Structure 1
Amino acid sequence: MRAGIVIHPPLETGRSLQQEDLHALIAEQGIVFGIDNDAIEEAKIFIESGEKEFKHITIARGQQVGKSTDAFLRYDIEIGPIAGKMLEDGTIDFRERRIMVGIKAGQCIATKIPPIQGKPGINIYGQETPAFPGKDIKIQLHNDVKFLRENMQVIATKDGVLSIVNDNAIKVCSHQTLRGDVDYKTGNVESMNCVTINGNVQSGFKVTAIGDISISGEVMSAKISSQGNIVVKGGITGKDSHLEAAGDADINFIEQGTLKCGGLAVIRKQVYYSEIITGADIRCHQSSKIIGGKLIAEGDVTVGDVGSENSRPALIAAGVIAERITHFDSLKSKVVEQQDAIIQWLQLYHGSSNSKKVKGMEKELAEAKLQLLRVNMIPGTELYSRAGGDEPLPPGPPQNPGAIPIEKIKIDVKGTIFAFTKIQIGNCSMTLEKTVSNRTFKLHPNGKRIIVIPNKR
């Protein structure tokens, strides 16, 4: 909030400010904070000069509400580079991810830094507006780890290797190493530990672990499941390849497979007719190539090249819950089926559109269409929380206080993206009309459409 004095040229019948005490006039208005004495002096000089000009001078400014700091975990050991981390200059760190970090019993892993309240705002009348409180975090501890409240430290209770999932879940597990392939000699692998496989995972086999999984070879039509993070240094091939991680996933390339992770997905080379679904960002190397398939992230998406002249179009979606796309498509199919059912009933029975049966079917169709309009794709929102058509949202506080800031979500294309690629951000979608290069896709400030912006070189 700010206050200003607007000075008009003097009028014969008007009130002159030359005889007025500006400080007294300001006090009469109840303005007591942020007063700029230099600006008041400037106003006095201008008034006394008798200039026949209009002039506006800001004489008081309020203090903005300070930004609060969210709680976070400060890691007190060297956990190495996190592949896919966004650096300060906007580039992405693609160094090899370091996992299986050794931990000793009694060693401090991390310290919780509590939220810090921002400074209150003060308006020109001296009234305070408190800052929004910083968000606290819930630390999730698994296996051989404990939290000491007196000093806010996370401590290992046994020797082992560290697994960090989505920044706030910490595990210390034993380390299991397989020196060759997972095949008929080993059988399926089910482990309560972190697992390193110095070979391939052969077709039809499963690897399941409580901790992180690192595979130096390939995954060939196999299933990999981790309650931690997954790193695959070879390729992932085959329609039956299915990888799922509670945390991050770092892969080389994937062909006709499926990858789901609760955190960040890092793609180093290629995605070929595959499905990548993440609870955070998808970050592909700038030289990577996406051919067909689906990339759906609840956060941002960064890609290299997308599509080709002859491939089926890919779907690139950011700020979207993947399950809601599936639900939306299911509702669309339901609407089509209901429309067809009404037409078939009228044709088969030569019925009237005013009949009780048809009216009932039309009511069900209208309800399904309204549901379709109300589906909200944005993470942190309720499923049916959009206004349907001309229907206003209910009065009161916002329905989705936990929604992500969708206006900040973007799809960043470092290479070439071919025509007919489908782009989706939140509840808005578009089909690319022409092939373009080096572009960023984001929502228009009105939130109703996607805009395309050239990237700075």
Structure 2
Amino acid sequence: MEEKVDKKPFDWNQGIQIKVTKDKLEAVMVIDAKCDEDTVEPDILKNALNKAKISYGIIEELLLDISKNVLTFRGSSLTIAKGVPSENGIDGYIELLRDDLDKKSAPLLLKDGRVDFYHVKDIPTVLRGEEIARKIPPVPGKSGTDVYGHEIKPKVGKDPRFPVGKNVVVNQEGTSIYALIDGQVSITERGKINVFSVYEVHGDVDFSTGNIDFVGSVLVNGNILTGFSVKAKGDIRVKGNIEGANVEAEGSIEILGGIIGYNKGNVRSKQNLKASFIQNANVTVDNTIIVTDSIMHSHVNAGKMVSLEGQKALIVGGLIRAGEEVIARVIGNSMATPTEIEVGVHPELRSELVEIREKLKDIAANYDKSDQALVMLNRLKDAGRITPDKEVIREKLESSLNSMKEFKQHASIRMQEIEQILQDSSNARVKVGANIYPGVKLVIGNEIKYIRDLTSRVIFYKSDGEITFMPMR
């Protein structure tokens, strides 16, 4: 008879291993391959987890499956617990509210397919007090939990610092950047946000730049070429020449070279203008024009003074108007080139007077014809024989004649006002430091004098209703 040997029970303390991943987010249970048990109590499996200090994310359903059929899982590595990873915070950032900062200048494509190479350059500009950039705050993130039940702290999103440059300010809340001045928005080194009051063109204003319209001042290191325009709310400074271009500044204009107008283009300043020379150009300035060399064959208007200060200081040809004074060494030339100098009233008033007189001429030429036509149409209407089409014409004529009458009334009053200003021009002067030649026409106020003889070093002025002169000291 064979002796019966008792089966040695499986040692669950040695037969279950718990392994944890490096990030502590996963616990793995390994059942020894030698296990020959069909089932196991769930508490034995939980006890193994307890000894390993696994307390979070235990997969209870899997524990039950293992306990009911151990043989199926022996020798296997089973994920028995899962933690929850943390969600890192998101860094905050600075949002530019100007989407034109990184745009490249490109020609404008017209509707018909042609390209406009002269279109206004897109300059990112802001006004004082305008919001330029805004802080987008960081997202804080969420904590996680590992299989030991410990908190996993997230990486905190960084709070961005404002890259404050020149002429900008951060508000008290620290949430936005605002412009301190009107100007050009520019991102410089290290991403700093700036507002510059001067827009700089490093070469010529040409097809590479297009036309320029800027809220501040403009500095052109080269020339402004024919056909292009530069407008500025501030000053304009040109290191080269203005060549047949349209240039307009609400401040002053300074040209280190000169103005070559080619009888086209206009230069306009609401303050002062300074240049080396003006040639075949149209120039209008509200205050003072200073030229260091010459003005030749140009139409020049200054609200106060035109002064030529260099060794040459020559005016030849064209029309020079100034509200107060014209100063030059030489006016005209030995060939008696027609040259006209007008002082004593703001040029705009003279232009206004000319426009009023021209319009009155037009009215005088058309008034009688229109009046006669209206009389005829009124007779047709009174007789009840006017057609609808002629009634429309009658009403237009009546309205036009009323407008003419009203303009004549206002024009008469305005002309008297301007004439009074022209008469009161006792302080107006034309100063000649060297010679003034025959061929020059002087207008002071409402008086005219033609220079018949070469005259030297004199000051012309109006006295007792006529233009006279005195020696220059």
Q: What is the TM-score of this pair, normalised by structure 2? A: 0.46
For the pair shown, the structure with the greater C-alpha radius of gyration is 2
> TM-score w.r.t. structure 1 length?
0.48
